[in-house]
Amino acid sequence: MARKKEKKVRLCCPYCEQEIMEADFPYCQACQVTIFYCPKCRKPLPRENMVCPHCGAEIKG
């Protein structure tokens, strides 16, 4: 069986590090939180974070 090369990045919950399956609407069922992405480095962030802990970008909105 030929496997497709997937470029999907595996996402993990920033809280519990469980893998997030839904990339379009990332939501951790364990923590019951919506995961938000840093617009700069594209890493998942806790929703309430105002500053990205990875790259220091300011999160707006």
**Residues lying near Zn ion in the complex (CB under 5 A):** 13, 15-16, 18, 28, 30-31, 38, 40-41, 52, 54-55, 57
Residue whose CB is less far from Zn ion, 40 or 47: 40
Residue identified by tokens 């909105």 is 61
User: Closest Cα partner for 39 from 26, 52, 22, 24?
Assistant: 52
**Shortest spacing between CB 12 and Zn ion, in angstroms:** 8
**Shortest spacing between CB 6 and Zn ion, in angstroms:** 22
Give the pair of three-digit tokens for residue 10. Answer: 């595996």
DSSP states of 22-34: -SSS-EETTTTEE
**Shortest spacing between CB 42 and Zn ion, in angstroms:** 7
